[in-house]
Amino acid sequence: MVAKTRLLRSWRDKAACLGLDVTWFYPAPDDVLAVLRAQTFCASCPVRRDCARHAIEHNEQHGIWGGSTAQERAAFRRAMSS
C-alpha cells in the first residue's frame, strides 16, 4: 500500500524541473537568453503557480521560480503591499 504521505505529494514532487540541475534556474540576471530559457521551461509546468507563490511568500531573492524573476517577484510584493 502506498503511504498516505505519498498520496498527498508536495507541489515540488510534481514540478517539471524535478531532478534537473537547479543551476539552470539561477542564471545571471544579464543573461537574457538563459532567463528566457528557464521561463520558457516553467511555462508548461503543472505547478507553476504554486512555485511562484512559494517564492513570493518566502521572499526568494534569486532565481527563476514559477517563471518569475526576482525583480518580477519584488514588483509584485510592492504592488500587493500598497
Q: Annotated binding site for [4Fe-4S] cluster, which residues?
A: 17, 42, 45, 51
Annotated binding site: 17, 42, 45, 51
Q: How far is CA 48 from CA 3, 4, 41, 58, in A?
A: 26, 24, 10, 15
Q: CB 27: neighbour CB atoms within 10 A? A: 19
SS3 68: strand
Q: Residue 77: CB partners within 8 Å, gap ≥ 6?
A: 56, 59
